[in-house]
Amino acid sequence: FSLGSSTGSLNNTVAEGNADDSINVVVRVRPLNAKEIQNNDPSIISFPGNGQILVEGVSDRIGGTDGNGPKTKQFAYNIVFEPGATQSDVLMYSGMTKLIQMAVEGFSTTAFCYGQTGSGKTHTLTGPPKLFEKNPDPSDPEHGLVFRSFMYLFQLLKDKRDVHFVLKASFLEIYNEKVIDLLNPGLRKPLAVRWSKKSRSFFVENLFTVDCEELDDLLAVLEEGMRNRAMGAHMMNEHSSRSHTILTVHITSEQQMENGVFITKQGKINFVDLAGSEMTKKTHSEGKTLEEANNINKSLMVLGYCIAKLSDPKKKEKEHIPYRDSKLTKLLADSLAGNGVTLMIACISPAKSNVTETLNTLRYAARAKRIKSKPIVVMDPREALIVTLKREVAALQTENEHL
Ligand code: ADP
Ligand code: MG
């Protein structure tokens, strides 16, 4: 833990992670649903172990193979969750707990679910809607990753008695490139995304941010946002498959070091439920106005470009990464770019009828896995100055004591 470069330089780096920490890609395969079973729509996915996935019967048309008929395609990831995996397995084995630990240490982190509509993104992050109706049972096995992460986070903070933590949470939706506050639904106006010189990242202006002293406060944010999202969904068809949601937990910690110096760190966790990945193609479909077509999934397309560029070491050096081209990528830039940590959960259906989208998701996930960067903790320059001044004061005091 070095304070060496904390004044003067623009990047007030105080701690570095490993390149291996920067992105973790896992795949979750949902069970066949009742409709697929009824339609004799078989599973084409199998699991040879070691994070591998086999997709059977891929035709030349969609798989781009050699013209000799259906093939089996193979992919490998950090972890693969089979249809029998539980919600608790996803928290424990996805790398999410490590991500939470890093956020507590001051890193910007993001966990996002990617996949076609109906592949299990919302189920994985938040669980079924019944959990947001009234008085959900905290021990319900269907609680998703967000709920479980909150529990884990509070457990972690309880064990760190020497550190003072302040938690704040916000919950927003991006629909048609407009940012809507899910905690302030009365506000009909979309919010602006702006650049903050101070924190060197983008932020949403006037976004409602709730102080969360207790676990229940965080859970209330989740429930309130989910209810407001569901209400919006009734007003418009396909709403939830076209919108992205970001629930953010900001974690500020203040700790007094042995030499009396206080260190303040700002970490965060973004939980992102993305629009259905099939939308990137539907964007060009008929019956849309130009603006709608351009906006429907600009965010998802730009995220794809950013991931493609970040994952190609040659391009990454030469070309700029187009974070600024969409609302979603602006807000995730600090986690995706050099200084953050990301968990991608690629959600897929096992059914034969979904093979095209399943292959697209698996390829996208394979590409994301190649991203390498070095996460860093960034301190606000003013904060860094205070730390240095406090350190100097402490040093003078020690000197005095020895005179
Ligand atoms: P998405 O958010 O990707 O559109 P959902 O999470 O809404 O998809 O999932 C679609 C349906 O499949 C829901 O009824 C959900 O409860 C069910 N489902 C998804 N994943 C699982 C799973 N792992 N186990 C059981 N049911 C699941
Ligand atoms: Mg969903």
Confidence band for 385, pLDDT divided at 50, 70 and 90: low
Q: Tell me the β-bridge partners of 251.
A: 167, 267
Tell me: pLDDT of 120 over 50: yes
Identify the pLDDT of residue 392.
63
Q: Is the CB of 270 under 6 A from ligand 1?
A: no
Q: Using the atom order of ligand 1, give the atom closest to the CA of residue 123.
A: 6
- Check residue 13 and give its pLDDT: 37
- Residue 218 predicted with pLDDT over 50: yes
The answer to the question of whether 120 is labelled as a binding residue is yes
Q: Which residue has the higher pLDDT, 110 or 304?
A: 110
Q: To 10 degrees, what angle do helices 145-158 and 215-235 make?
A: 160
Q: What local confidence, expressed as pLDDT, does residue 359 receive?
A: 95
> Residue 373: its pLDDT value, please?
60
Per residue in 238-258, pLDDT tens? 777 889 999 999 999 998 888
108 is an annotated ligand-binding site residue: no
The residue type found at 255 is Q
What pLDDT is stored for residue 316 in this prediction? 58
pLDDT for residue 230: 74
Q: What band does 343 get if pLDDT is binned at 50, 70 and 90?
A: very high
pLDDT tier at 370 (50, 70, 90 boundaries)? confident
* Ion ligand 2, residues whose Cβ is below 5 A away: 121-122
How many whole angstroms from 114 Cα to the centroid of ligand 2? 10
Q: What is the reported pLDDT for 9? A: 28
Residue 122 CA, ligand 1 centroid: distance in Å: 7
Asked if residue 115 belongs to a known ligand binding site, the reply is: yes
Amino acid 241: pLDDT: 83
| pLDDT band per the 50, 70, 90 thresholds, residue 3 | very low
Which pLDDT band holds residue 87 (cuts at 50, 70, 90)?
very high
CB of 126 closer than 6 angstroms to any ligand 1 atom: no
- What's the pLDDT score for residue 50? 86
Which residue has 């995706």 as its token pair?
Answer: 336
State the average pLDDT over residues 376-380.
Answer: 51
Model pLDDT, residue 363: 92
Distance 121 CA to ligand 2 centre (A): 5
What percent of the chain lies above the pLDDT cut of 90?
A: 49
30 touches ligand 1 (CB under 6 Å):
yes
Ligand 1 pocket, residue 122 CB under 6 Å: yes
Cβ of 190 closer than 6 Å to ligand 1, yes or no, is: no
From ligand 1's centre to the CA of 121, what distance in Å?
A: 7
pLDDT bracket for residue 330 (50, 70, 90): very high
Ligand at minimal distance from the CA of 144 is 1
Tokens linked to 395: 């040093």
| Residue 295 Cβ < 6 Å to ligand 1 | no
Given a cut of 50, whether residue 403 has pLDDT beyond it is yes
Taking the centre of ligand 2 as the mean of its atom positions, its distance from the CA of residue 311, in whole angstroms, is 26
Rounded Cα–Cα distance for residues 345 and 331 (Å): 18
Which of 11-25, 164-178, 372-386 is the most confident on average? Answer: 164-178
Q: Is the CB of 118 under 6 A from ligand 1?
A: yes
Distances (CA, A) of 293 to 176, 282, 288: 9, 8, 6
CB of residue 115 inside a 6 A radius of ligand 1: yes
Quick: pLDDT tens for 34-76. 999 999 999 999 999 888 999 998 887 777 667 777 889 999 9
Q: Which atom of ligand 1 is nearest to the CA of 273?
A: 2
More confident residue, 334 or 110: 110
Please report which ligand is nearest the Cα atom of 128. Answer: 1
Distance of CA 153 to the CA centre of its chain: 16
pLDDT tens sequence across 266-317: 999 999 999 999 876 665 555 666 666 667 688 888 898 888 888 777 765 6
CA 320/CA 64 separation, integer angstroms: 30
The arithmetic mean of pLDDT across residues 109-116, rounded, is 95
Q: How far apart are CA 341 and CA 335, in angstroms?
A: 6
Collapsing DSSP to helix, strand or coil, 175 comes out as strand
User: In whole angstroms, how large is the CA radius of gyration of the chain?
Assistant: 22
Model pLDDT, residue 2: 25
pLDDT at 10: 30
Short-list 50, 54, 90, CA closest to 74: 54
Distances from the Cα of 151 to the Cαs of 75, 111, 343, in angstroms? 33, 16, 18
Nearest-atom number in ligand 1 for the CA of 33 is 12
Whether 147 has a pLDDT exceeding 90, the answer reads yes
Distance in Å, CA 118 to ligand 1 centroid = 6
Ligand 1 atom nearest to CA at 29: 23
The mean-pLDDT minimum among 7-11, 226-230, 275-279, 387-391 falls in 7-11
Cα 383 to chain centroid, rounded: 27
Q: What is the per-residue pLDDT for 296?
A: 67
Contacts of 138 (CB under 8 A, 6+ apart): none
166 neighbors 153 (Cβ within 8 angstroms): no
Above 70 in pLDDT, residue 400? no
Residue 245 Cα to ligand 2 midpoint, Å, equals: 10
Q: How far apart are CA 89 and CA 123, in angstroms?
A: 14
pLDDT for the residue numbered 90: 97
N- to C-terminal Cα separation, the chain: 30
